Amino acid sequence: MTTTETPGAEGSSLRPTLLDLMQGFVHELRAAGLPVSMTENLDAMRAVEYIELDDREEFRSTLAATLVKHHRHRASFDTVFDVYFSLFSHGIDELDELGALGGDGEDDGQPGVDGEAGQGAGQGGGEGLTREEMAAMLVNALRNMDQDALRRLAAVAVRQYAGMEPGRPVGGTYYLYRTLRQLDLDDLQARLMGEAKARGEVQEGALADRLAREEFEARLKLLRDLVEEEIRRALVADRGVEAMARTLRKPLPEDIEFMHASRDEMMTLQQAVYPLTRALAARLAQRRRRRNRGHLDFRKTVRASLSYGGVPAEPKFRNPHPSKPEVMVIADISGSVASFARFTLMFVYAMANQFSKVRSWVFIDGIDEVTRYFIESEDVLEAVHRVNTEADVIWVDGHSDYGHAFETFYNRHYTEITPKTSIILLGDARNNYHASQAWVVEAMAKRARHVYWLDPEPNGYWDTGDSIVSEYAKFCDGTFECRNLRQLNQFVTTVAENG
């Protein structure tokens, strides 16, 4: 698509437009939380001079290479890019040239259907396709992986099913949902499978089945992406770039709040947690090994000095005695903070090899030790699942009762706390007006090395309503707000460093 069709870029005034767009783009990236420095901004400006501007993907990868330095920020980058430079791509006008669709389809032996489709779409109304026809054409395009046809069909589908109205303040997700519901991807999947089997392309057996299914899923994912792209393009055309970028702004994975994460955000979090824990564990191991330099080893130093003619040029040290602290994690897993506890448990277990012993308990109004689940299951996710389903944490009614849980803990495990133990308490301390039994925390603090409290609620909400954080906090060595991965990461680093 030539750039001259871009609104506001008539004649030779393309450069300023591009510059303006890029500035807006960088601005939006920063607003979305991506750290774009001045140098990087200038690099991007220099870089675009060397590339072909009409190749959208090349343009995208150039900007990504210069502006995005964290892989987990890439998704946010792509969203902003799609919004800002959507006008540069296939152009809105192309939607009206759907006549080509009919031509494409005729080879597939469905002239009637396709002819009609081309006509219908060409008129701009898009009413020409019944759902059945649409499905048949989609199956066709998906089977042959005809990307052009898919793109056009996605455009038609959005027109026909999304019911977009100019100026209506609805997010893209709503339209996406509406369109996809009509397209019925599950049905398409079933059709593709059925067809492939009827042609004998899929062999017998679970494995062949699985491979075919995954292949079709990947293709349907492509269709879904195309639909999404189409909706975004239409929305940008309707509302303008800036407004659209604002509505699409999503928090970066490390800034998503545990307590208010949506389903999709949970998935993102889940994916972000794993590399973070790994990175954290590696860093801690490194720091620990390096920091704990032992005492001077006199004998070795003298021995080494011989090679310098008796000058002790190279001091030698004893191997360090690693002081491996024990960690006890006691987490509230009642409904209100469950997702938070889940991520914290995953984090703690990522550090397990840093500590000689990690034990964990979960509670609601009763308390149960869950260490064994983590030892027995290979997989952290599976362990967390078992914690949530098998642990015996309900005593009376399944409403948080910190007091009773702590008291039980005191009776059963208090004597197991040693001066090497660090205790981490997790919860919002919303105690449903039960007795706080804060003396347990006081007793813990006396016996243990450290007691920390992590609260997933924003600082401002502490001690409001039935939250009694400060009653416990006065005995703790530290109380930390821990609303997102960034804060959790910070806390774990601090703690691990202080041993």
Query: In the numeric block, which tokens belong to residue 222?
Result: 């492509």
205 binds another protein (CB under 8 A): yes
200 binds another protein (CB under 8 A): no
Cβ 244 vs Cβ 235: under 8 Å: yes
Quick note: the x/- pattern for another protein over 263-282, rule CB under 8 A, is: ------------x--xx--x
* Cβ-based nearer residue to another protein, 51 or 435: 51
Task: Please identify which residue in 46, 181, 246, 318 interacts with another protein, judged by CB under 8 A.
Answer: 46
* Cβ-based nearer residue to another protein, 71 or 299: 71
206 binds another protein (CB under 8 A): yes
47 binds another protein (CB under 8 A): yes
43 binds another protein (CB under 8 A): yes
Cβ 137 vs Cβ 113: under 8 Å: yes
Q: Centre a 10 Å sphere on the Cβ of residue 425 and count the other Cβ atoms it contains.
A: 24
SS3 labels along 316-339:
CECCCCCCCCEEEEEEECCHHHHH
The count of chain residues that interact with another protein, using the rule CB under 8 A, is 41
Scanning the structure block, which residue is given the tokens 């200038």? 42
Give the bridge partners for 467, in sequence order: 430
Q: How far is CA 337 from the centre of its chain?
A: 19
* Cβ-based nearer residue to another protein, 313 or 396: 313
Q: Among 173, 168, 170, 210, which Cα is nearest to 193's?
A: 210
Contacts of 385 (CB under 8 A, 6+ apart): none
C-beta of 431: minimal distance to another protein in Å? 37
Sheet holding 421-426, edge to edge: 367-369, 357-363, 326-332, 421-426, 450-455, 478-481
Task: Please identify which residue in 4, 8, 31, 52 interacts with another protein, judged by CB under 8 A.
Answer: 52
In sequence order, what DSSP letters do the residues of 380-411 get, joined into one string?
Answer: HHHHHHHHHHH----SSSSS--HHHHHHHHHH
C-beta of 342: minimal distance to another protein in Å? 16
465 binds another protein (CB under 8 A): no
199 binds another protein (CB under 8 A): no
198 binds another protein (CB under 8 A): no
Task: Please identify which residue in 289, 293, 372, 474 interacts with another protein, judged by CB under 8 A.
Answer: 289
Query: In the numeric block, which tokens belong to residue 434?
Result: 């039960």
Task: Tell me which H or E stretch contains 480.
Answer: strand 478-481
Q: How far apart are CA 422 and CA 410, in angstroms?
A: 15
By CB under 8 A, which span of 22-30, 87-95, 231-239, 373-381 interacts with another protein? 373-381
Quick note: the x/- pattern for another protein over 64-83, rule CB under 8 A, is: xxx-xx-x--x---------
- Interface contacts to another protein, rule CB under 8 A: 35, 37, 39-40, 43, 46-47, 50-52, 55, 57-58, 61-62, 64-66, 68-69, 71, 74, 205-207, 210-211, 214-215, 218, 275, 278-279, 282-283, 286, 289-290, 378-379, 381
